[in-house]
């Protein structure tokens, strides 16, 4: 909080510097969220001390007052004021309706795109000039970018003289391609899509070209144009203007399911806000809020404009999913299959509602591609349930004190050699490097569910030479287990009984217990349903494995190779009497091609969830209370459905327990059927 004039002056200078960097080439020493908070603190101090307001203050100015241009706008190109909560949105809308003296009949609600505002000027239907927003009065001519911006046609459908206004940005794919080109050129990458778009829009002498994307949000005839067509365009509701823009061949957010809609009540506005918010993480482009504006031209004209923003529109800002922080260290961890995984240690930062101290770095190749160094200021990204990841270094903030990240030359756990033949490095000992973790995972509740097999017990068995992998568990004798320290007759019998019960687990759990890289519980269930038996899986080649939903041509060969590596372990399981088949599956009547290609489990058409994609969220109760999430997913699939972890337009049913949260909100927005635990238990009662 700013409490002194000195702090206020420092904050104004910091905000002005950040705004100048952000609105010119997209770089800044602070992230968007930090800038918004800084400006709000400046504004609060100014409200309490109006006599102390500096002329250089960013409040009330387009682009924080730090940007100038040399191409005058025909009509001022203003910014938007912000709200940060549903309560603030209601207060703004109520104040606006008081100003109008009547209720607003229609509201336009559309995503706030995280790009750079530009004016695209057309003369007789031909694109002639591109101008940035600048200070709202004048902008910078960037017409050299014509021809590199997708969604912005060189000619409109009609030979009109008009100005299209919108955002220039990079989609996720364009950003990936731009980073690859920059990496090849100078070994660095862009910090984020917005800075990449800002730099690209202004670049005139780069040896490589990066594509941009345009999304329109308005159209203006020239103020001096008195034609009937110009008058008609000025009088159209905003929603119809956007339809006209799209009809001219320019891209608008309407190409996505978060495109603009017209709402008539605040409740409808909030529903749309929630819909766009839950879709945010899945979008191929960045958004940082939702824009709500009066749809009718008459309401806009009556509300008028302030010095910085129109009074008839507001931006509902969403929580930040991206922050700048320091990369303090890199830890090298070894997974249960021997994979060596780097993890970024970060200066703690609050991101998307939680404090982030660690983030994913994927592998050595990823570190190299991004050009990361210890001590770097880095962009950290998180959205929804996604694990935080380090996006890129903020190169312009480097001080010269940064250091290369030490890359291990031997396995950081056991000291043996590293297999670096693939992007994901692995200890040459594979699972043997972390054999305790591998056995413990296989015996876990969601795999073989062998109760009583704690890590300390596994270590005892390894030390005694009784086991070398989890298959050896099925050859243990009562005498061997009794001989272990602190193992009495009762605990021994209970453990051996749990091991024996594990033999009856379905194929999906056995396959998951193997810990094949790139497959988890959900993928193991798909593989089990597709092939039906372990024999069929082992006989399948890469092409057959690729036929499983979710396994592409890159992953399939790796699955085949790892199954070959696991052959001795699987053979031991077979020798122990484990059948490893999926319930409902029967082997082919006659040996032949079908025996190796895999057989589908029985027909599910008569089952209660046949053809349905089902998502479970919240705490279950009643008959479902004791089930883990994995057991719920297995129940769904026994009843003929397909379990999923995320709600989408393809979701057929959401099972919502207590504290269902955002998934329920998204399902309501999409019109997905929602049932409680009791109703769902009734649907699948025969399978519980």
Catalytically annotated residues: 112
Read off the tokens for 228.
């009937």
Q: Which helix (H) or strand (E) holds 324?
A: strand 322-334
Sign of CA dihedral 146, 148, 151, 153: positive
Nearest Cα to Cα of residue 581 among 632, 506, 650: 506
Nearest Cα to Cα of residue 389 among 457, 327, 467: 327
Which residues, other chains included, contact 97 with Cβ-Cβ below 8 Å and sequence gap of 6+?
Answer: 103, 104
Nearest Cα to Cα of residue 224 among 234, 215, 214, 216: 234
Q: Rounded to 5 degrees, what are φ and ψ at 450?
A: -90, 95
Nearest Cα to Cα of residue 639 among 602, 588, 677: 602
Through-space distance between the first and last CA atoms of the chain, rounded to whole angstroms: 56
- Across the strands, what pairs with 341? 333
What Å distances lie between residue 49 and 42, 46, 52, 59, CA to CA? 10, 5, 6, 14
Helix ranges, 168-294 (H): 172-186, 193-202, 228-235, 238-247, 266-279
Cα 128 to its chain centre, rounded Å, is 37
Cα 249 to its chain centre, rounded Å, is 30
How far is the C-alpha of 356 from the C-alpha of 367, rounded, in Å? 19
Which residues, other chains included, contact 491 with Cβ-Cβ below 8 Å and sequence gap of 6+?
Answer: 452
Helix ranges, 503-554 (H): 507-514, 521-531, 534-539, 542-546
Which residues, other chains included, contact 205 with Cβ-Cβ below 8 Å and sequence gap of 6+?
Answer: none
Q: At what angle do helices 435-443 and 507-514 cross, to 10 degrees?
A: 170
Q: Provide the 3-class DSSP secondary structure of residue 166.
A: strand
Cβ atoms of residues 238 and 293 within 8 Å: yes
Sign of CA dihedral 358, 359, 362, 366: negative
How far is the C-alpha of 190 from the C-alpha of 182, rounded, in Å? 8
């Amino acid at each position: 909080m700013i409490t002194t004039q000195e702090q206020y002056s420092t904050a104004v200078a910091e905000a002005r510097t950040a705004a100048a960097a952000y609105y010119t080439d997209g770089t800044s020493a602070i992230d968007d969220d930090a800038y918004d908070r800084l400006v709000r603190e400046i504004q609060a101090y100014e409200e309490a001390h109006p006599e102390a307001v500096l002329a250089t203050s960013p409040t009330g100015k387009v682009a924080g007052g730090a940007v100038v241009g040399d191409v005058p706008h025909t009509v001022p190109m203003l910014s938007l004021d912000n709200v940060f909560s549903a309560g603030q949105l209601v207060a703004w809308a109520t104040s606006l309706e008081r100003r109008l003296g009547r209720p607003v009949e229609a509201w336009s609600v559309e995503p706030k795109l995280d790009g750079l505002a530009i004016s695209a000027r057309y003369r007789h239907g031909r694109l002639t000039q591109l101008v940035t927003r600048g200070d709202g009065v004048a902008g910078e001519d960037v017409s050299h970018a014509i021809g590199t911006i997708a969604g912005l046609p060189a000619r409109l459908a009609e030979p009109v003289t008009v100005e299209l206004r919108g955002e220039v940005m990079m989609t996720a794919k364009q950003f990936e391609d731009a980073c690859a080109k920059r990496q090849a050129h100078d070994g660095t990458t862009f910090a984020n899509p917005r800075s990449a778009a800002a730099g690209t829009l202004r670049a005139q002498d780069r040896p490589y070209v990066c594509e941009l994307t345009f999304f329109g949000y308005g159209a203006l005839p020239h103020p001096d144009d008195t034609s009937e067509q110009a008058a008609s365009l000025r009088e159209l509701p905003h929603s119809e203007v956007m339809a006209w823009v799209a009809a001219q061949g320019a891209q608008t957010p309407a190409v996505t399911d978060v495109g603009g809609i017209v709402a008539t009540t605040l409740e409808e506005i909030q529903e749309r806000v929630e819909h766009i918010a839950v879709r945010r993480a899945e979008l191929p482009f960045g958004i940082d809020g939702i824009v709500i504006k009066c749809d009718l031209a008459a309401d806009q004209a009556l509300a008028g404009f302030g010095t910085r923003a129109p009074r008839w529109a507001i931006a509902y800002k969403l929580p930040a999913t991206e922050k700048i922080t320091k990369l303090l260290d890199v830890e090298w961890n070894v997974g249960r299959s021997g994979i060596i995984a780097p993890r970024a240690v970060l200066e703690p930062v609050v991101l998307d509602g939680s404090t982030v101290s660690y983030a994913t770095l994927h592998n050595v190749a990823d570190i190299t591609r991004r050009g990361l160094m210890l001590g770097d200021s880095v962009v950290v990204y998180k959205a929804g349930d996604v694990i935080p990841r380090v996006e890129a270094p903020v190169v312009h903030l480097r001080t010269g004190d940064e250091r290369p990240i030490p890359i291990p030359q031997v396995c950081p756990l056991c000291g043996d050699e590293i297999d670096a033949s693939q992007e994901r490095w692995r200890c040459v000992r594979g699972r043997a490097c972390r054999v305790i973790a591998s056995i413990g995972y296989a015996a876990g509740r969601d795999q073989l569910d062998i109760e009583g097999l704690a890590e300390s017990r596994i270590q005892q068995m390894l030390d005694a030479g009784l086991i070398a992998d989890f298959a050896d568990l099925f050859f243990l004798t009562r005498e061997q287990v009794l001989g272990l320290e602190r193992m009495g007759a009762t605990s021994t019998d209970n453990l051996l009984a749990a091991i024996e019960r594990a033999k009856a687990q379905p194929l999906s759990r056995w396959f998951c217990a193997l810990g094949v890289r790139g497959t988890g519980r959900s993928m193991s269930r798909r593989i089990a349903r597709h092939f039906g038996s372990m024999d069929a899986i082992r006989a399948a080649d890469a092409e057959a494995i690729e036929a499983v939903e979710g396994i592409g041509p890159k992953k399939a060969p790796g699955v085949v190779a790892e199954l070959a590596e696991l052959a001795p372990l699987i053979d031991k399981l077979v020798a122990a009497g484990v059948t490893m088949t999926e319930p409902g599956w029967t082997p082919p009547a006659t040996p032949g091609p079908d025996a190796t290609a895999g057989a589908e489990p029985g027909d599910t058409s008569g089952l209660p969830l046949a053809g349905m994609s089902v998502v479970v969220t919240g705490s279950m109760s009643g008959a479902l209370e004791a089930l883990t999430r994995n057991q719920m997913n297995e129940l769904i699939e026994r009843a003929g459905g397909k379990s999923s972890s995320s709600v989408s337009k393809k979701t057929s049913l959401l099972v919502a327990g207590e504290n269902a949260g955002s998934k329920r909100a998204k399902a309501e927005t999409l019109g997905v059927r929602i049932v409680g635990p009791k109703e769902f238990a009734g649907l699948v009662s025969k399978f519980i």
